[in-house]
Chains A and B, each alone.
Chain A
Amino acid sequence: MIRVTKASGMGLVVGQTRFGFQRYGVPEGGAMNFLSMARMNAALGQSMDAAGFELTGHFKFEALEPFSMMCGPASAKVKINEESVHVGQLISLNSQDLIEIMPPAQGLWTQVAFLGGLDVESVLGSRGLCTAGGFGGGTQRLLKVDDEFGIDSPLTIGKVPSIALPALSQTDDPVRLRALKGPEYDMLEHSVNLLPTKWELSTNSSRMGYRFESSLELSHLLNLPSSYACTAGLVQMPPDGQIVVLMADAQVSGGYPRYASILQSELWKVSLLLPGQSIEFDWVSFSDACQYNKKSQDQWCRFEQAIAAFRG
């Protein structure tokens, strides 16, 4: 059992994505840094169905009974009983231990995976909170002080390896993102003199979308496409000429011109950005995207094989 003792920011229970409910208007959700959460759950020997926390801001918790957890991303700042601990490795806690989570050095979000997962009911295919619909996540809302969560017993207990977690390199400025051109890209290119190549993350961002600014000023209104389906990674251009990268809690339909779509395997990089940091798109063909995705899939297989070998 764990109790929230300080909630200065936004925190919520996240689980696997709520896939297959788009027809009801239900967003997929899941962690902003899906790769960090997936790696930690894999290291803990559990599926993405195991629920954890994702937090931005300053949070404190008290362990009400012994349990184990792991935190990410690589730059997460976590203290146990006021002592800093390493991320990407198993942290074992005793009753009354105090956990403090501060904003990470990269991005806004810290992920916490629990060995066994949080004991919250699965609703429409996920234990995570649906922020738009106000359901799931145990409490049906964001974390508040005095919320308490049980932790399920792990299905199997094996050795837990220390793992590398996602991080941006110091030289990643601007951060380069592989992307496909969106269906309305050509229309956008013809509507403005010059499309910017560099976009800067604004403070006006949320779990639904990260807003990026540039020097672009549209001199006339763009033709809007008819409504369409959205998934995380889609890059829209609203009438103000800025762009919005749809993130984990993005709504399922949209209507602004689609400038691009970032490859799914690159989206974790966006979650590690801070306001003021810049991105540039590396345009890839569909066939290149397939090849790059295959490489990412192979890397993931090797990661899982290394964990299996470690566990014996």
Chain B
Amino acid sequence: MNEHFQLHVVSDRLLEFNFPRLSDALRFRLFKALERQQADIAPWQVFWVGQKVALISPRSITSDHEFDHLYQHVSGIFAQLNSFPNEKFDSHHFEVQFGSDYSPDLERVAELNRLSVRQWVEQFLQTEFTVGFNGFLPGFSYLSGLSSNLQAPRLQAPRKRVLAGSLAVAGQYCALYPCDSPGGWNIVGWVNRQVFSVSHEPPCLMMPGDTVRFSEVK
């Protein structure tokens, strides 16, 4: 067993590697390398979520040798990690509308952190976020980097409908709702930009490792 990661057989078609001690830069490098070499383990797909990388098969496996092969594959790439070049990631910028019509939870979130709304907004706009992973909804990117004095827990009861483009925070994450949907995050603003479209290639604007900044609509 490799001392640098933990391995879990999560299901009969999902194998999970957890890299809790890897720096963000190395983790993104590793995950990109795994994605690039995905053809070597087809039909298994690589899907990263936070500190973990999942290898998922379209069908359940019938031999434990298959998992042995995957383990060797990931271990092999991990061993060469320092020889891989640094990866390039996209940077995104979004203009945010703040105000009572767009920010139903902003006052409460600011108050929770003992900040005025203006202080909260200004600190938020100074933050550079990193896309951790996409989940919850198609195109819903979990943006990490929200400092502890800007955070707020999820709502006790989720809203039945959150508008597409809503900028929301929950725990250590910030996100843009890609479509109208139910949701339990605190809505602090609104962005007039589509972040997911099936007619785009790739359909998702933001991918793990990308950086994100926000500015206020003038």
Whole-angstrom distance between the alpha carbons of A22 and B50 in the complex? Answer: 14
Q: Decide: A134 and B12 in contact? CB cutoff 8 A.
A: no
Residues of B within 8 A of A21 (CB): 138, 203
Shortest distance between the CB of B156 and any CB in chain A (Å):
12
Interface size on B, residues (CB 8 A): 50
> Taking the complex as formed, is B148 at the interface, i.e. its CB lies under 8 A from any CB of chain A?
no
Q: Decide: A229 and B138 in contact? CB cutoff 8 A.
A: no
Shortest distance between the CB of B92 and any CB in chain A (Å):
15
Q: Decide: A19 and B136 in contact? CB cutoff 8 A.
A: no
Interface size on A, residues (CB 8 A): 45
* Contact pick for A231, options B56, B63, B67, CB 8 Å: B56
Within 8 A of B (CB), among A253-312: 253-254, 258, 261, 263-265, 286-287, 289-290, 293-294, 296-297
Shortest distance between the CB of A93 and any CB in chain B (Å):
32
Q: Decide: A229 and B49 in contact? CB cutoff 8 A.
A: yes
Q: Decide: B50 and A234 in contact? CB cutoff 8 A.
A: no
* Contact pick for B135, options A20, A25, A135, A286, CB 8 Å: A25
* Contact pick for A290, options B11, B54, B63, B141, CB 8 Å: B63
* Contact pick for B61, options A25, A123, A258, A293, CB 8 Å: A293
Residues of B within 8 A of A242 (CB): none
Shortest distance between the CB of A128 and any CB in chain B (Å):
13
> A residues engaging B (CB < 8 A)?
17, 19-27, 123-124, 130, 132-136, 180, 182-183, 226-229, 231, 233-234, 251-254, 258, 261, 263-265, 286-287, 289-290, 293-294, 296-297
Closest 8 interchain pairs by CB?
Answer: A253-B135, A229-B54, A261-B11, A25-B134, A133-B138, A24-B204, A294-B62, A264-B60
